[in-house]
């Protein structure tokens, strides 16, 4: 994990009382300068109060954001008007501590759905975090938003032009395309016009957070926020490919770290679909395979059961031609390759060697549809006994 301080930003994680055992549960991310901001949110029709609040704040194109407050242990979703009131109170209290306006504060929540926020704990956590803000405390802020995560998820780059991008994320379960059960906060000290920032984030999310699957469930709280305060003095122009690539790199590293830490996961699997007429069709097939419980249990069992792969591709909704399909199992750097299927029929491959490869923690399935030149990748994991244990006892 690579992490860098970002000019003008200070962060902290603190304990307020939403988690037991004095674990950090409130994260505070602040900027000395007003930030231009962009956000991408869950597409679930049931949205948590903080999602609705942040969408409202960011609907103002002149919004200048000074802080983000994020809590773990409580999603503040399906909590009605009281939930919205509690979100506003969270922003107001943070603004009072930081000397800014409430509409300069964004709010994130993650945890159990349908429970009102214990505001005394939230306020206590904000007060504690405000006392220990530090430019280097990104890991502490990251740990404060973890729920079933087993480790922090951080990524960052220092660009040769002189600006920095740093991001943190949480997520391990309820992970599906079109935003997953995850939160991500990305900060840069580049000076980025609002439209450029928004376009860059939306494009990056399509290739990263929208291409991960743990279990196929979509949350009520998913949010990715990108803040730019301009403190580096480096201005990003429209069409800056280097900036776009840097944002995509950080988002991809964070997204992959979510899958690697998937609830109960023992395998990190890349599903690569090539030979499609369009990128969207390639992605649809890859998503279908990545979500399949039968494929994911075969991944856990180190079983090269290629019939499940083809079956999931077949019900993806794409007009596939079975006699054109070819399938390979590869190691992560593509140095080992087992050609399992050609022309829709099995090849004579070394199954024992394929099983040995699938016992490793990471590998690739590559499916060629034989119908075009476009390709897409989706990252997924296996289903283990531990996944059922974690989610069967999430509240009990």
- Over the stretch 156-187, which tens digit does the pLDDT of each residue have? 999 999 999 999 999 865 545 555 457 999 99
pTM for the complete prediction?
Answer: 0.91
Give residue for tokens 């922003």: 91
377 phi and psi, to 5 degrees? -120, 145
68 C-beta neighbours (distance < 10 Å), count? 27
What is the CATH number assigned to the segment(s) 9-260?
3.60.70.12
Q: Is there a contact between 51 and 221 (Cβ–Cβ < 8 Å)? A: yes
Report how far Cα 263 is from the mean position of its chain's Cα atoms.
14
CATH 3.10.20.340 fits 268-392, yes or no: yes
181 catalytic? Reply is yes
User: What is the full DSSP assignment across 134-175?
Assistant: BTTTHHHHHHHT-SS-SS-EEEEEE-TTS-EEEEEEE-SSS-
Provide the pLDDT for residue 171. Answer: 80
With a CB cutoff of 8 Å and minimum separation 6, the contacts of 120 are 17
Q: Which residues pair with 107 in a beta bridge?
A: 69
Q: Is there a contact between 389 and 282 (Cβ–Cβ < 8 Å)? A: no
Q: Is there a contact between 227 and 250 (Cβ–Cβ < 8 Å)? A: no
Q: Is there a contact between 72 and 110 (Cβ–Cβ < 8 Å)? A: yes
Encode 117-147: b = buried (16+ Cβ within 10 Å), e = exposed: bbeebbbbbbbbbbeebeeebbebbbbbbbb
Nearest alpha carbon to residue 185 among 254, 128, 104, 105: 254
Provide the pLDDT for residue 218. Answer: 61
Provide the pLDDT for residue 262. Answer: 78
* Set 87, 90, 166, 181: catalytic member: 181
Provide the pLDDT for residue 130. Answer: 98
* Helix (H/G/I), strand (E/B), else coil: 10: strand
| Segments of the chain assigned to CATH 3.60.70.12 | 9-260
Tens-digit pLDDT profile for the chain (396 aa)? 668 999 999 999 999 999 999 999 999 999 999 999 999 998 888 899 999 999 999 999 999 999 999 999 999 999 999 999 999 999 999 999 999 999 999 999 998 889 999 999 999 999 999 999 999 999 999 999 998 888 899 999 999 999 999 999 998 655 455 554 579 999 999 999 999 999 999 999 999 999 988 765 566 788 999 999 999 999 999 999 999 999 999 999 999 999 998 777 899 999 999 999 999 999 999 999 999 999 999 999 999 999 999 999 999 999 999 999 999 999 999 999 999 999 999 999 999 999 999 999 999 999 999 999 999 999 999 887 776 666 565 555
Provide the pLDDT for residue 216. Answer: 59
With a CB cutoff of 8 Å and minimum separation 6, the contacts of 244 are 200, 203, 204
Provide the pLDDT for residue 180. Answer: 47
Q: HSE of 328 in the Cβ direction (CA atoms, 13 Å)? A: 16
Nearest alpha carbon to residue 263 among 144, 181, 206: 181
CA atoms of 276 and 253, how far apart (whole Å): 25
| Segments of the chain assigned to CATH 3.10.20.340 | 268-392
């Amino acid at each position: 994990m690579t992490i860098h301080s970002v000019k003008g930003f200070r962060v902290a994680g603190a304990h307020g009382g939403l988690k037991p055992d004095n674990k950090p549960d409130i994260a505070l991310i602040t900027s000395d300068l007003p930030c231009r901001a962009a956000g991408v949110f869950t597409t679930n029709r049931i949205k948590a109060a903080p999602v609705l609040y942040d969408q409202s704040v960011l609907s103002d194109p002149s919004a200048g954001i000074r802080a983000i407050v994020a809590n773990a242990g409580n999603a503040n979703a399906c909590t009605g008007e009281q939930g919205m009131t509690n979100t506003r109170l969270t922003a107001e209290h943070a603004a009072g501590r930081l000397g800014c306006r409430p509409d300069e504060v964004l709010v994130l929540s993650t945890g159990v759905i349908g429970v009102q926020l214990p505001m005394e704990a939230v306020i206590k956590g904000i007060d504690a975090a405000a006392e220990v803000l530090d430019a280097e405390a990104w890991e502490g802020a990251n740990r404060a938003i973890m729920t079933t995560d087993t480790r922090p998820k951080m990524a960052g780059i220092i660009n040769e032009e002189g600006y920095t991008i740093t991001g943190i994320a949480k997520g391990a379960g309820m992970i599906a395309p079109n935003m997953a059960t995850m939160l991500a906060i990305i900060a840069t000290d580049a000076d980025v016009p609002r439209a450029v920032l928004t376009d860059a984030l939306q494009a990056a999310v399509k290739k990263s957070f929208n291409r991960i699957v743990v279990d196929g469930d979509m949350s009520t709280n998913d949010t990715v926020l990108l803040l730019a305060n301009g403190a580096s003095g480096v201005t990003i122009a429209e069409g800056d490919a280097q900036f776009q690539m840097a944002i995509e790199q950080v988002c991809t590293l964070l997204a992959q770290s979510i899958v690697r830490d998937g609830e109960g996961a023992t395998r990190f699997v890349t599903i690569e679909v090539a030979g499609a007429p369009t990128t969207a069709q390639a992605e649809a097939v890859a998503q279908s395979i990545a979500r399949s419980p039968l494929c994911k249990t075969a991944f856990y069992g180190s079983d090269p059961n290629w019939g499940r792969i083809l079956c999931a591709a077949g019900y993806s909704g794409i007009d596939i031609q079975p006699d054109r399909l070819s399938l390979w199992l590869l190691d992560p750097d593509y140095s080992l390759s087992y050609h399992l299927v050609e022309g829709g029929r099995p090849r004579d491959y070394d199954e024992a060697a394929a099983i040995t490869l699938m016992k490793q923690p990471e590998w690739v399935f590559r499916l060629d549809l034989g119908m075009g030149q476009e390709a897409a990748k989706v990252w997924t994991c296996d289903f283990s006994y531990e996944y059922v244990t974690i989610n069967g006892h999430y509240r009990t």
